Structure 1
């Protein structure tokens, strides 16, 4: 609740970076929607975040695992990291391809 009030107070919705690929070429890049999805997550709108950028959850899972791996010794960490990376890239590419269909 406090984080949402902070975002409203600061008006961070107005300071998001534009997509330069979309401005130059006119098509979305594979990362289009990520900033808005993060903003939806901070507001607690989890379904809207997924609709905006479905790869946000595997990406957050990967980042959380990499952070936990730095703090603790995790068995099979390399294998888990590779699986999480492949699934994240798969989500990104699938989302990107579905935008054009």
Structure 2
């Protein structure tokens, strides 16, 4: 059973979706690099994951907080959610702008 899971895990790279924006327009989209960054993260290559897509960590923090808040309501969760969303969007936009400079 573990061998099958390992083989599936190693084959994840073969099933990545192509970026249609890049294929059609020849320009990276704001999400380009997210799949590869997640793959690096799964493999334990944390620095490579950040270098591939810097918004990966704020995005994971946002999703983790939303998941935790779903089961254990947290005081001031709206404020925390907004802060995490703004920081995630900020990282995405900064990364996207820096790609063109």
TM (norm. structure 1) is: 0.92
- Tell me what 2:51 maps to: 51
CA distance in 1 between counterparts of 2:36 and 2:73 reads 34
- Tell me what 1:5 maps to: 6
Equivalences, count: 97
- Tell me what 1:41 maps to: 41
Runs of at least 4 residues of structure 1 off by over 4 A? none
CA distance in 1 between counterparts of 2:12 and 2:66 reads 28
CA distance in 2 between counterparts of 1:40 and 1:83 reads 26
- Tell me what 1:91 maps to: 91
**What is the deviation of 1:14?**
1.3
Q: What do the CA deviations read for 1:62-93 (whole angstroms, capped 9, x no partner)?
A: 00000010011201000000000000000000
Unaligned runs of 5+ in 1: none
> RMSD of aligned C-alpha atoms?
1.3
Unaligned runs of 5+ in 2: none
CA distance in 2 between counterparts of 1:70 and 1:12 reads 29
